[in-house]
Amino acid sequence: MVAGQMTTITAAVLARSGDQPRPYAESRPLTLATLTLDPPRPGELLIRIDAAGLCHSDLSVVNGDRPRPMPMAIGHEATGIVAALGSADDTGFAVGDRVVLAFLPSCGECVRCRSGEAYMCAVGAAANGEGRLLQGGCRLHDADGGDVRHHLGVSAFATHAVVDRRSAVKVDRDLPPEIAALFGCAVLTGVGAVMNSAAVRPGESVIVYGLGGVGLSALLGARASGAAPILAIDPFADKRAIAQDLGAVAVGPEDAAEAIARLFSEGGADVVVETVGKAAVLRDAYRAARRGGRIVTVGLPNPAEPLDIPAVSLVAEGKTLIGSYMGSSIPARDIPRYIALWKAGRLPVERLLSSVHPLADINSLLDALADGRAIRQIVTP
């Protein structure tokens, strides 16, 4: 089916960020609004959203750590079914396909895309920063006809979304939606940070700071890569228990120094992955790497936070500090690869799933995420 009419949808809309007090269940920064959704243009898809995961990047927009234009329909980790194509001659997708949505569409034409680094696409990043789709403009409108911005090209906390086809990866139709959604951000970022950015080799040692959805995904990626030993650091005992079940040694931050000294003969690990999004934690992660070690950071701190490390150590200790956006992943390549690992039992991403809720619970779910009580909460329209 080729789309030709606007669709009336329900979406979670953020009118302003950074000034809503906790608890969010009471201040209710997200409003379930009725919006109109333009039909997809050629090269775009209309998606019926089945499941979407609540990620710390969503919370960072709500609390103001990641400034974005408002109003915005948020949510960026999701799966759904193709409901319509923007053009009859679009190939590669058909109505009824299940897709996982990725949060950075790549233009395919810039230097970074042509160099095999589409996760660094400046064109896609600019569109995301402006809250528009890759082809320009907004497809979402409020009751007065005003534009509502798109979150990372997806806006998944909704019944439907229009996305650029380059934001969608076709997957098996029978993949459970609450599992499929996890591959769009948590798995793509965390597993990719280990397998792509750090290129962890069998037998290398790994430390993971933070055991949210991305951190536990990094742990899964380290285990699937044959890393040993693996140390996981998080203040919450229930998250540490999951990490221990997955084969890691897990400790709280107060016990990290002792565990590092005990586990790693060179005074630190080969690879350290930081997923918390705090400059102070990244500093600790940097110190926890051995001489010549690799530190990968995927967290997104507030832009005002500086990083304080001894500059001389980069040379004198031969350390490598790596920023990893989207796990240095190519979604069309890596999402099917990670799903295959899950099917083979080597990447048990179901351990990330905390709970499934209706979209109406979205504000209280923000509280659970902000309190560190949840790993990945899934919402369904």
Task: Give the model's pLDDT for residue 348.
Answer: 98
What is the DSSP secondary-structure string of 7-61? Answer: EEEEEEEES--S-PPSPHHHH--EEEEEEEEPPPPTTEEEEEEEEEEE-HHHHHH
Per DSSP, what are the bridge partners of residue 49? 80
Per DSSP, what are the bridge partners of residue 232? 208, 250
DSSP state of 181: G
Task: Give the model's pLDDT for residue 91.
Answer: 77
30-76 pLDDT per residue, tens:
999 999 999 999 999 999 999 999 999 999 999 999 999 999 999 99
Domains in the chain and their CATH numbers?
7-184+348-380 (3.90.180.10), 187-326 (3.40.50.720)
Beta-strand pair 289-297/72-73: unpaired
pLDDT band per the 50, 70, 90 thresholds, residue 2? low
Task: Give the model's pLDDT for residue 5.
Answer: 80
Q: Which residues of 185-212 are buried (b: 16+ CB within 10 A; e: fewer)?
A: bbbbbbbbbbbbbbebeeebbbbbbbbb
Backbone angles phi, psi at 315, to 5 degrees: -90, -50
CA distances from 249 to 111, 273, 348, 376 (A): 42, 15, 18, 21
Q: Who has greater pLDDT, 76 or 373? A: 76
Nearest to 166 by CA among 220, 121, 102, 211: 102
Cα distance between residue 194 and residue 203, in whole Å: 13
109-167 pLDDT per residue, tens:
999 999 999 999 999 999 999 999 999 999 999 999 999 999 999 999 999 999 999 99
Which amino acid makes up residue 154? Answer: V
Cα distance between residue 93 and residue 198, in whole Å: 33
- Note if the bond before 71 is cis, omega within 30 degrees: yes
Helix ranges restricted to H, 264-353:
279-287, 313-316, 331-343
**Mean pLDDT (the chain, rounded):** 96
Nearest to 375 by CA among 358, 359, 351, 339: 351
Q: Is the pLDDT of residue 231 over 60?
A: yes
Backbone angles phi, psi at 37, to 5 degrees: -120, 120
Q: Residue 191: in which H helix or E strand, if any?
A: helix 186-192
Backbone angles phi, psi at 331, to 5 degrees: -55, -45
Beta-strand pair 230-233/249-251: parallel
Q: pLDDT above 70 covers what percent of the chain? A: 99
Nearest to 381 by CA among 29, 2, 93, 34: 34
283-337 pLDDT per residue, tens:
999 999 999 999 999 998 888 999 999 999 999 999 999 999 999 999 999 999 9
**Orientation of helix 237-245 relative to helix 213-224, angle to 10°:** 20
